[in-house]
Amino acid sequence: MKKVETKSIFFWSPMLSNVGTIKAVIGMANSLDKFSKYKIYILDILGEFSIFNDLGRINFLRFIKINNIFPNTGKLAKFAIAFFSILAIPFLIRKIIIYKPRYIITSLIGFVPIIIKFIFKDIIIINSIQGYPKFNFFRLFIWRFFYNRSDYLLTMTNKTKKMIENKIGIDSKKIIVINNPVISRSVKMQALEQLDLSEKYIFKKKRIYCAIGRLTHQKNFFEMLEGFRRYYNEVDRNFNLIIIGEGELKKDLVSYIKKNNLDNFYLLGFKKNPYKYLCRSDLYICTSLWEEPGHTLIESGYLNVPVLTSNCPNGPDEIIINGYNGLKYELGNISDFLNKLKIFNNLDEQSKKALAINLKKIIKNYTQFRFFRNISRVLV
């Protein structure tokens, strides 16, 4: 058998839906490919990375493609992800024998590589926690039994680090706060792409408000729609609201829009390139119940788009200082949401620009180089 480069890193992150974790993994892989001495392999377990064909020297090791067969959210999706991830254990073992990775960096279903560590004891497992963990009895058991055996855990906020320390009892020295490498030149290049002719009419209104994310409970889109419904009825109708994303609540959101005759609310579905819509918007809106830290919020700052966000944990509450680098409203308080929206629209252009500039000052913490510099603390 041909001898293979032994200094390699595996990325493991089985998923069925187009979530921000995909961009996070690609960003981390590109960062280590550019700046480290390691050969990078992304394990494409369920077909989640099948849309990526050319990422330079990064290699994809593909197991099975089922992401176009199963629903990507709900109980069946969760079962399918766990079942096929466990089924992929022999595949993972074989690839470890061939490519001899020094590290496995996980973002989802991190307990499977930890199981492998019982066989390959020298492999270092780095669990990157993508999102704010919600613990029920079963997940608490998984974390205490498996994740406690990780060599390192990466979190994106200090609040999440402290929560894991307290609930799971993991040594704080093993938990490192490192931001995802969200920002890259490709974001700006994609933002320059032209809109489809069929969508240009949306941007002819006086103001365009944009939201991006999975249509799930976490994103709290009904609060956003109710806030804008009141704004539409009480203040101004010369605007369009666009929401980019797919998810299990789509039918309910469509029903709400139709019931309230909101003909200037647009659910555009999943877009491979959301940045060309975001950069042409006047304000990015986040009504999430929680974020960790909120990739699109960071990308908005990178594209000079001001932000209005809820004060949810953890990212928005840590990142946004109300009135300095964005506007922040009290989660669940639609009157406050409406008030902050009015405040934004009454600002002059210089004040709006100042919000975007001040947000951009923190963007350097989310680059690929900064990620590499931070993770180098645990790479040998």
Structure tokens at 371: 């990620």
Ranges under pLDDT 70 in the chain = 1-6, 18, 53-56
Q: pLDDT at position 114, please?
A: 94
How many whole angstroms separate alpha carbon 171 and alpha carbon 162? 11
> pTM (2 decimals)?
0.85
Beta strands at 207-212 and 283-286: parallel, antiparallel or unpaired: parallel
CA atoms within a 13 Å half-sphere pointing along the CA-CB vector of 265: 23
Q: pLDDT at position 291, please?
A: 86
**Residues above pLDDT 90, as percent of the chain:** 67
How many whole angstroms separate alpha carbon 311 and alpha carbon 215? 19
Omega of the bond leading into 53 within 30 degrees of 0 (cis): no
Structure tokens at 323: 């009135």
Sheet with 175-177, side-by-side order of all strands: 59-62, 39-44, 8-12, 101-106, 124-128, 152-155, 175-177
* Contacts of residue 103, Cβ cutoff 8 Å, sequence gap at least 6: 9, 10, 38, 123, 124, 125, 126, 379
How many whole angstroms separate alpha carbon 176 and alpha carbon 184? 22
In the numeric block, the tokens 């064909």 are attached to 53
Q: pLDDT at position 7, please?
A: 87
pLDDT tens-digit series, residues 91-119: 999 999 999 999 999 999 999 999 999 99
Q: pLDDT at position 212, please?
A: 95
Q: Is the Cβ–Cβ distance between 293 and 157 less than 8 Å?
A: yes
Domains of the chain: 8-181+368-375 (3.40.50.2000), 185-365 (3.40.50.2000)
Q: pLDDT at position 55, please?
A: 66
